[in-house]
Each structure stands twice: as structure tokens, then as C-alpha cells.
Amino acid sequence: MEVWHLKCMKIIKKLFTVHGLLFTAIALAAILRLWNLGSNPPSLTPDEAALGYNAYSILKTGKDEHGTVLPIIFKSFGDFKPGLYVYLTIPSIAIFGLNEFATRLPSALAGVISVFLVYLIIRKLEIGNWKLGIIAAFVAAINPFLIYFSRGAWEANVSLTLTLFGIYFFLKAVKDSRYLLLSTLYFALTLVTYQGAKLSTAIVLFLLIAIYWKDFWNIKLKYLLISLGLGIVISIPIILSLFNGQTQRLTIYSIFSFVRPETEIQTYSDGYFWLFHSNALNHARMVASRWFNFYSGQFLVFEGDVANPRYGVPYQGVLLMADLFMLLLGLFTLFKNKMSKPSLFIFLWLILAPFSAALSRDQTNAVRSLNAAIPLIVIISFGFNQVVSWISIQRIKFPYYILLSTFYFFSFVYFLDAIFVHLPAHNSSYWKYGYKEAVSYITEVESKYTHIIFEQSFDQPYIYFLFHQKYSPTKFQDQANLVSSQYKGDVGFQTRLDNIRFEQIDWSALKNDHNVLVVSSTNPEKYPVIKEINYLNGRDVAFNIIEIK
């Protein structure tokens, strides 16, 4: 019995070493990002399905769904996506098959790695002691912002992890020039991962070079030139995409594409129009309002991205409720002390990171402001470290630790309830629940019908058939034909797959059809429904499956 007691004491002591605590933080991060990954969120978005199927197509044929050999930029629904995420997904699909888990796994693993990188960056910045790095690792491990975007196939999440690699090796490069090559490699790879990285990566690079200006120019010229060449070579496909119309989606969703109604312009068309109401001033006002929306309590703590419910957890912001107090204390700590280079980098990164989201037409945009999660985590860690330091000098410590633990435990359990219980039920419609179920049913019966009409939408129903049927990439490449939509520069549509037609349903014309299966979210003519697929809230209908005899 005494031997077991000694062994347990040794294990506990090891757990409370730096490496033991870091391992615990990473293990916690892995559990929160990998557990039930294939079924929560409850369905794949069209973009996720496209990423997975294109990885499957590359694996099987060496070509994407449209027959292009090993592309760097993938055409997807008439949009164009940098393709690194597709290639990162190939190994997981080769091992686990074409499914939700395999498609999301690269993002989940990137999320786990980011926790380790946060620790390394804190240590490399040389702010605070080793405890601050461990605290930051735990804060990152349980951060709702990072957890949520690690649990879907989000290119932005992988881009963030690559950015952290780039920062870490840049900080090493100011002392050892050779590491600049690795820093450049990772920063450049963000551009072939995520469209929004053009701006978010530029912000980080600008801050690093500006703040570490003297150290940067002490890097040996040889490594500066090689790194510059490496960055240009990797970025060439992205640079070319700026000139050949492959950045349409960024243009469409930019705030500068917002057209003011003619009636509004006429209302302000007085002698002072260009002084007070010009388009330039209007755009500046809109950017500023979106920028400040990021720092609101509504976005950070209480509701998250209300403009895009799919970008967050119900009733939960991007931080834990307890984090709000630590964030305020962390900011106070940051300004109380002399502003060092590392502190200035973290503070300016927090200020500038939401700029990418501020250029969006949405009032808030969590995915485009994801990079801001890191400075938020670091500043929260400052606050947490301050509290722990204060408790450590008190004569009676236990009650304070209990109070702090209870506060965070309640906030964390509230978040777990929101993401693992409420998200599937309340947000299943935003995650396009029902397509997998509809495809499964149709796959069993499609041979019985002359043709099947599936309601066309921007959800791109064809991609769900390709994904869930594991449709032969070679067979699809022969019939892939995206038809342009009525919206200029927006996504195109696939209108047919074997005997399945994807189209807007003409309900009156169906009266003349025979032996047809119709799948629609509505049923205005009250045709008999042979199967109803409901969202996970148990009330709302995702699809009606109707048989026209």
C-alpha cells in the first residue's frame, strides 16, 4: 500500500512540473477538439463537403472534382479557394475514409497544435515567467473561439496555426538568421490556405517587422534574400489569382460592394453631400462600426457572432464569461507596466486583427477575426497570472483558489452545455442538417423513379450526393458543369447528377409528371409526403420527400 502511495505522489509531482502541466493542457485541448468530432457540429456545410470530396477526388484520381490536375486554387461552386486544406485532408481520408471526422480532422489537429504554439510564443516573447506560458496554454485549451473553429473544416483555423508557427520562428530568427526561412515558409503557406490570410498575415508581418525593426535588419542578408524568394515562389498562385478573377467572393462580401439605395442618396443630396454624406465617409463609418462591434460584450462574452449564427455557439461569446474579468485586469496590467516590444506587439495585434472582419458586409464576422483570439488569450493570461500572484502572497490561500476555480468551472461548464447540448439542437439548420439524411434515403430508392427533383439552393445539394455516396470522381469529372447563377460573380450551380435534377421546383408543372420523387423544404400544393426530415429541434422541417405517381 505504501508503494502505491509513493508512486501516486511521484505521478502527481510530475504532473505539476512544467512539462506535466503543458501535457495536461494539450491533452485537454485534444479532448475538447476531437471528442464527437464527426457528429458535432451536426452536419457538414457545403464548403466542408467540397473540401472533403475534392481531397477524395485528388486521392483517387490526382484531379479535383472538375478534372484539374493537382490545382493550387480549387474552383468550388464558382468560387475559388486556396487548396492547402484539401491536401492536408488527403491522409485522414486515406486512413478513415470519406466522412465528417476525416474532413474535420486537419482543423482539429491544428487547433491542438496551436495550444502548444501559444506556450512556445509566450516563452519566446520573454514576458512574465514560465507560469504565464502554462496559464496561456490552459486558457487557449478551453477558449471557445479556438475550440469552435477547430471542430469544423475551417481553413481560417489552419491558417491561424500556420501564422503562429510563422511568429514563433520569426522570434527565433532575430537571434538565429536561419529560422527566417521557416518563418517565411509558414507565413506564405497561410496564403495558400485561406483567402482572408492576405490581410491577416500582412497585419502580423507588418507588426513584427515594425516592432522588431532593428533586430530584423540584423538578420544576415543571405537569409533575407532567400526568404524573400521563397515567399514569392509560394505566393505566386495567390498573386496571380488577384488578376484573373479568382477572388470574387472577397469582392462580393466586401463592405465596399455595398451599394447605397438611390433614395438614400437623394435624401442627402444637398450642398453638403460630399462633406458629410459621401460614399467614402459612409464606408469609413461602416468599417469603424464593425471594428468596434468586435470589442463589445455582446460579441466577446454573451452572444458571439449574431450576424452569422453558424460562426458560434448559442448563448455564448468567443470568450468564457470568467474571461471578461481577466481580460480587463490583463489590460490594466499591460498598461501599468512599461510597454515592452512583446507587450506592444500583443496590444497592437489585438487592435488591428479585427480589421479583416471590419471590411466585411456583416456587422460582426467571427471567422475573419479569428486571429484576434491569440492576443485576447495572452492578455487574459496576464490577468489570470496577476490574480494567481496576488493569491500566492496571501496568508490564507485556499478560499481564494476555491473561488477562482468555481468561477471558471461554472463558466466552462456553461460553455460545454452550449456547444455539446444546445448547438446540435438549436443550430442544426445553420449547419445544413438533413442533407445527409435525404441523400441516404434517395440512394436506397432512386432506381425506382424516372427522375428525382431536388430543390436547388446556394447550399449546393449536389456536393452532398458526391460526398455521402462517395460518388466516383472519374464518373463525376465527365459530367461536372457548373452553371452560372443570376447573381454576377457569385456561385454557380450543378444542375444534374445521373437521374437527379437540381432546380427550382415548378409546383404546377409537377401535376403532369409521373413516377417522380421531389425533395423540397416546402410543400405549397400539399402533396402527400412519404418522408419528413426534421431539424434536431424536433419541430421545424428540413425536407419533405414527395412521391408523384
Q: Is the pTM for the entire model greater than 0.85? A: yes
Look up residue 228 and give its amino acid.
L
Mean pLDDT value across residues 437-454: 93
Does 250 score more than 60 pLDDT?
no
Q: Please state the domain extents for the chain.
A: 145-257+276-426, 435-548
In the predicted structure, residue 46 carries a pLDDT above the cut 60: yes
Q: What are phi and psi of 385, to 5 degrees?
A: -65, -35
Residues 371-410 as b/e (b if ≥16 CB within 10 A, e otherwise) read bbbbbbbbbbbbbbbbbbeebeeeeeeeeeeeebeeebee
User: Model confidence at 117, in pLDDT bands (50, 70, 90)?
Assistant: very high
Confidence of residue 339 (pLDDT cuts 50, 70, 90): confident
Helices 84-96/100-125 angle, 10° precision? 120
Residue with cell 455564448: 316
Q: How far apart are CA 166 and CA 245, in angstroms?
A: 29
Give the pLDDT band of residue 290 (cuts 50, 70, 90): confident
Q: Helical H runs in 97-194?
A: 100-125, 130-141, 144-150, 155-173, 179-191
- The mean pLDDT of 251-262, rounded to a whole number, is 60
Residue 293 has pLDDT above 80, yes or no: yes
pLDDT value, residue 513 = 82
Residue 254, C-beta contacts closer than 8 angstroms, at least 6 positions apart = 359, 360, 361
HSE (CB half, 13 Å, CA atoms) of 461? 26
At 531, the pLDDT band (50, 70, 90 cuts) reads: very high
The cell for 324 is: 471578461
Q: What is the pLDDT of residue 486?
A: 62
